[in-house]
Structure 1
Amino acid sequence: MANNNKISRRIIVVSAVSLLIIAAVSYYLFASGKNDKNSYKFVKIEKGSIESLVSSTGVLNPVVTVQVGSQVSGTIARIFTDFNHKVKKGELIALIDTTFLSASVRDAQSSLDKAQAQFTQAGKDLERIKVMVQKNLAAQTDLETAEYNYAVAKAGVKSAQASLDRAKINLRYAKITAPISGTVIARNVDVGQTVAASLQAPTLFLIANDLSQMQIIANVDESDIGQIKVGQNVTFTVQAYPDKTFEGLVQQIRLQPTTIQNVVNYSVVINVSNNEGYLMPGMTATINFQIAHADNVLKVPNAALRMRPTPEMIAQAKSSPGRNAESNRRDSSAQAGSQNLATQNTGPQNKSGQALFQGQRKNSALLWFIDERGKLQALRVRTGLSDGQFTEVSSDKIHEGMDVVSGIVSSTTQTSQQGTPFQQNRSMTGAGRRGGF
C-alpha cells in the first residue's frame, strides 16, 4: 500500500512539471505571435542651429613670401641670420667673399686711369695739330686723324668709368640684405658654400612678410565652386590642433582651373588671422565653407530620413482603424517614396567623394512614427538645410522632442538574446531535481 502511494505521488509531480512546461511554451508562443515581428529604433526631433557646408582642403602660406638670392658668384663668407629670425628691410643677412670683387674694382679703376691719360694725350695732340694746320705745317688729314683719336679716347674714358661702376655695384651685391621686413622661414646656404649666379639667381633665404596674417590656398571641386562667394565665412582645423577651430574669409576665387586625377578644381584664397601664432606655413587645413545658416529650427538625424519600412509595415499602417482617404493615399506612395528616400537625402556622390546634399535644399521627405494606438504612421515633411548629420524639417504636425523611427530591430535578434523557454524550463526542472525528485 505504501509503495502504491509513493508511485502515485511521483506520477502527480511529473504531471505537474509537464503541465508547467506546456504552459510556459504556450505563453511564449502566444506572446511571440501577439508582438510585432519588428521593433524600432527611435530618435527625437530637436530644435537648434544648422549649417550647410562645403568641405575642402588646402595649404597655409604667408601672404607675402620673398626669395632672397645672389646676383654675384662667390663663396659665402658670413651669415648674420638663421631660421625663424626676424629681420628688418635693408638689414645685412649674409656676406659673399669680396676678394675677387675687390680686385675687379681695382682693375676697373686702373683701366679708367689709363683711359683718362689717353684722353688727355689725345687732347694735347689735337691742339698741336690745329696750330700746325693754321701755319700750313700739317695736312688736313692729320687734323682729322687727331680729332678721331680724341673722340676715341673720350669714349674710352666713359667705357672705363662704366666698368668701374659695374665693379663697384658687384662689390655691393656681395652684401646680401633683407628686401622686406619679416621672418626668415628658410636658409639654404652655409658659410663656405659657393653660390653661382647664372641665368637664375640662387635662393639663399626665404622671408615671410608677416606671419600674423596668412592665407590658405584651397582646392574646391568644380561641382561646389558655384556655392563659394568672396567674403564668405570659413572655419578650418589643422592636424597639429585637432580640437581648435580657426576662422577665415574668402578673399579670391581664381579662374585658372587645375586638374588633379581627372577632377577639375579651382583655387580659393582664404585670409586667416594668426595673431596667436598657432599656424605655420605648409600646414594642411581641413576647411568648411559656410554656405547657409539657420537658427532655432527643427531638425532630425539623417538616419530618420533614410528609414525604409518593409511592405508588412506599410500594410500595417494602411490597415490601422480611423484612417481617412488622404491618409490611405499618402501611405500608398509611402513605400515608393521610402525606397528613394536615401537617394533623395544623401544625394549622389561627387568626384571627390563628398555628398552633394551639402549646401542643397530638398523639397520633402517621409518621417515614420508610432501613433497613440501603437501603429506605424508616415508623415511627409518639408526639408531644408543639411550639414551631413542633421536635416532641417518643418511641418505643422511635428514638434520638438517628438520620437520618430530611425531604424528597424529584427525580432530574430531579440529571440537569440533572450533565449528559448525550453532553456529556462530545463534550469527550473534541474533545480527541482536537486530538491529530491
Structure 2
Amino acid sequence: MKRKIVITIIVLVAALAIWYFFFRKKENQVVISTQKPRYGHISTSVTATGTVQPVDTVAVGTQVSGIIKYIYTDFNQPVKKGQLLAELDKVLLQAEVDRNRGALANAQSQLIYQQAQYKRQDQLYKVGAISRADYDNATYLNKAAQASVESAGASLRTAERNLFFTEIYSPIDGVVLNRSVSVGQTVAASFNTPTLFVLAKDITKMQVQASVDEADIGNVQDSQRVSFTVDAYLDEEFAGKVQEIRLRPSVSANVVTYTTMISASNESMKLKPGMTATVTIYTSEKDHVMLIPSKALMFKPDSALSGQFKVIAVAPAATERRKSATPVTGGSRDTVRSNMPGMEKKPSAASNYVWVRQGDTLLQKKVVIGLNDNTRAEVIAGLSPEEDVITGMQELSGKKGTTGSGGQASPFMPQRRRR
C-alpha cells in the first residue's frame, strides 16, 4: 500500500516538473517608460529654401555708344555717390559738339544780319519807299533766323549732354557686385541700355528670397521670427524676420510656391549674394508651457499589461455623463480597445488622451493639446506636473537577451546551426 502511495507521489511530482519546465506558460516582463511633464519653450515652424541677395541693387549703364577707354573701379570695390566709374572715348562726341557749336555761331550771325535788314525794311515801309510784300519778306527772314538760332542751340545742348554721358558716375553709395565691361570694349546703346556695373546699396543688410509651399503659406505672416543657415557656415545660425509675402505665385512641376522676403542683418559680412539658405519660419511660439513627449499621445496599453497593472480607460466627451470609469480586466488587446468607448470609432481622438501611471494602475486621462512640433506637445489642461505620463512599453521575453512584444526572434537574423 505504501509502495503505491510513493509511486503515485513520484508520478505526480514528475508530471508537475514536466508541466513546470515544458508546458507552463512563462510570464513575460513588461517595462514601461514614463516621463513627468516639463515646462519649456515650444514652437511650430515652416521650412523652405531661398537665396541670399542684397536689399537694393542698381544696374549702371550708358545712354551713348562708344568704346570703353578708362575703368576706375573693380569687383567688390566700395563706391560713393557721384564717383566716376568709367569713361567712353570722347573723340566723336567732342567733334559733334564742335560741329553744333559752329552751326550755332553761323545761325547767330545770320540772325544779326536779318535783324539789321528788318530794321531798314521797316523804316522804308513806314515812309512808303517799299511795298508790303518786301516788308513781309524781311519779317519772315528775321523770324526764320531766330528759329535757326534756337534749333542750333538745342542741337548743341544735345551734343554736350551726350558728351557728358561718356563719363559713368555712381548713382548711390554701395559696393560693386559685377563689372560687365573691360577697357577697349565697344558698347552699343542703340536699342537698349547695356549694363556696365551692378551696385549693391548696402551689403550690411541682406534679404533672403524664400519659396514657401502653398500648403504652408497660410501660417506665414509678416514680422515672424526666422532662422536660417547657409552651406558656407553650417554651424552658425543667422536670424531674420518675415518682411513681405508676395502675392504672385510661382509654379514649377505643378508645385505652387509663394515668394517670401526675409530681412537679415549682415554686420559680420559673412553673408554673400547668391548663397543658398535653408530657412525656418517660426509660425507660433510659446514660452514656459507644460510639455510632454508627442509619442505619449500615441501610446495604447497592451494586453500584456493586464496581468501586472489595473488598466482603467475613461469615457470620451460624448459619454461623460456616465461619471464612473470603466475598468478593463484582462483579455486580449482587442478586448482592451473594445472597452475604451470611442477609441476604435475615432482613432484620431487618441491625440486627446494620454495614459498615466499611478502605482499599479494605468489611468487614461483626457488632455487639451495646444502646439505640437511632432517631438513635444503642449498640454493646456488635464495634467499636473507630478503625474508620470507613459511614453512607451517594452515586453521582455523569458529568454535572456531577447526583447520585443512577443519574444520571437527576427526571421531576418541568421540562425545558428544546431549539432
Partners of 1:64 and 1:202 in 2: CA distance: 19
Match of 1:142 in 2: 134
Partners of 2:393 and 2:108 in 1: CA distance: 100
* Letter matched to residue 212 of structure 1: T
Match of 1:218 in 2: 210
- Asked if the contact 1:385–1:391 (Cα under 8 Å) also holds between the matched residues in 2, the reply is yes
Partners of 2:385 and 2:362 in 1: CA distance: 18
**Displacement after TM superposition at 1:25 (Å):** 11
Partners of 1:193 and 1:33 in 2: CA distance: 91
Give CA deviations for 1:43-66 in whole Å, capped at 9, x if unaligned: 664432111223233322222211
Q: Quote the RMSD (CA, aligned, Å).
A: 3.8
**Displacement after TM superposition at 1:201 (Å):** 1.1
Q: Is there any run of 5+ residues in structure 2 with no aligned partner, and where? A: 1-15, 315-322, 329-336
Partners of 2:212 and 2:200 in 1: CA distance: 26
Change (3 A) 1:376 1:313: farther
Q: Is 2:95 the counterpart of 1:103?
A: yes
- Asked if the contact 1:43–1:304 (Cα under 8 Å) also holds between the matched residues in 2, the reply is no
Q: Is 2:269 the counterpart of 1:277?
A: yes
Match of 2:222 in 1: 230
Q: Is 2:340 the counterpart of 1:332?
A: yes
Change (3 A) 1:321 1:366: closer
Match of 1:35 in 2: 28
Match of 1:242 in 2: 234
Partners of 1:156 and 1:317 in 2: CA distance: 113
Q: Is 2:390 the counterpart of 1:391?
A: no
Match of 2:354 in 1: 367
Partners of 1:101 and 1:190 in 2: CA distance: 20
- Asked if the contact 1:308–1:339 (Cα under 8 Å) also holds between the matched residues in 2, the reply is no
SS of alignment partner, residue 191 of structure 1: coil
SS of alignment partner, residue 352 of structure 2: strand
**Displacement after TM superposition at 1:184 (Å):** 0.8
Change (3 A) 1:282 1:139: same
Change (3 A) 1:181 1:25: farther
Partners of 2:198 and 2:240 in 1: CA distance: 25
- Using the TM superposition, name which of 136-145 and 107-116 deviates more: 136-145
**Displacement after TM superposition at 1:337 (Å):** 7.2
TM-score by length of 1: 0.74
**Displacement after TM superposition at 1:101 (Å):** 1.0
**Displacement after TM superposition at 1:308 (Å):** 5.1
Match of 2:390 in 1: 404
* Letter matched to residue 391 of structure 2: V
Change (3 A) 1:60 1:24: farther
* Letter matched to residue 327 of structure 2: N
Partners of 2:229 and 2:395 in 1: CA distance: 37
- Asked if the contact 2:44–2:284 (Cα under 8 Å) also holds between the matched residues in 1, the reply is yes
Partners of 2:140 and 2:48 in 1: CA distance: 74
SS of alignment partner, residue 156 of structure 1: helix
**Displacement after TM superposition at 1:254 (Å):** 3.1
Match of 1:121 in 2: 113
**Displacement after TM superposition at 1:369 (Å):** 5.4
- Asked if the contact 2:33–2:392 (Cα under 8 Å) also holds between the matched residues in 1, the reply is yes
**Displacement after TM superposition at 1:278 (Å):** 1.4
Partners of 1:59 and 1:180 in 2: CA distance: 24
Partners of 2:54 and 2:311 in 1: CA distance: 66
**Displacement after TM superposition at 1:290 (Å):** 2.4
- Asked if the contact 1:303–1:407 (Cα under 8 Å) also holds between the matched residues in 2, the reply is no
Partners of 1:24 and 1:285 in 2: CA distance: 70
Partners of 2:345 and 2:288 in 1: CA distance: 28
Partners of 2:313 and 2:165 in 1: CA distance: 95
SS of alignment partner, residue 51 of structure 2: strand
- Asked if the contact 2:204–2:265 (Cα under 8 Å) also holds between the matched residues in 1, the reply is yes
**Displacement after TM superposition at 1:129 (Å):** 2.5
Match of 2:4 in 1: none
Partners of 1:321 and 1:382 in 2: CA distance: 19
SS of alignment partner, residue 200 of structure 1: coil
* Letter matched to residue 367 of structure 1: V
- Asked if the contact 1:238–1:283 (Cα under 8 Å) also holds between the matched residues in 2, the reply is yes
Match of 1:178 in 2: 170
**Displacement after TM superposition at 1:194 (Å):** 1.2
SS of alignment partner, residue 328 of structure 1: strand
Q: Is 2:175 the counterpart of 1:151?
A: no
Q: 1:194-343, aligned counterparts within 5 Å?
A: 194-307=186-299, 312=303, 320=311, 325-328=324-327, 332-333=340-341, 335-336=343-344, 339-340=347-348
**Displacement after TM superposition at 1:405 (Å):** 3.0
Give CA deviations for 1:312-334 in whole Å, capped at 9, x if unaligned: 46977997599995143895137
- Asked if the contact 1:309–1:338 (Cα under 8 Å) also holds between the matched residues in 2, the reply is no
**Displacement after TM superposition at 1:95 (Å):** 0.8
SS of alignment partner, residue 34 of structure 1: coil
Partners of 1:233 and 1:24 in 2: CA distance: 70
Give CA deviations for 1:347-395 in whole Å, capped at 9, x if unaligned: xxxxxxxxxxxxxxxxx5333456533x765443321112232212355
Partners of 1:316 and 1:268 in 2: CA distance: 57
Change (3 A) 1:322 1:239: closer
Match of 1:92 in 2: 84
Match of 1:163 in 2: 155
Change (3 A) 1:127 1:321: closer
Q: 1:407-422, aligned counterparts within 5 Å?
A: 414=403
**Displacement after TM superposition at 1:27 (Å):** 4.5
Aligned with 2:54 (options 57, 62, 66): 62
**Displacement after TM superposition at 1:338 (Å):** 8.2
- Using the TM superposition, name which of 137-146 and 283-292 deviates more: 283-292
Change (3 A) 1:127 1:307: same
Change (3 A) 1:179 1:29: farther
Give CA deviations for 1:145-179 in whole Å, capped at 9, x if unaligned: 11111111111111111111111111111100000
SS of alignment partner, residue 291 of structure 1: strand
Partners of 2:22 and 2:197 in 1: CA distance: 82
SS of alignment partner, residue 344 of structure 2: helix
Aligned positions, number: 378
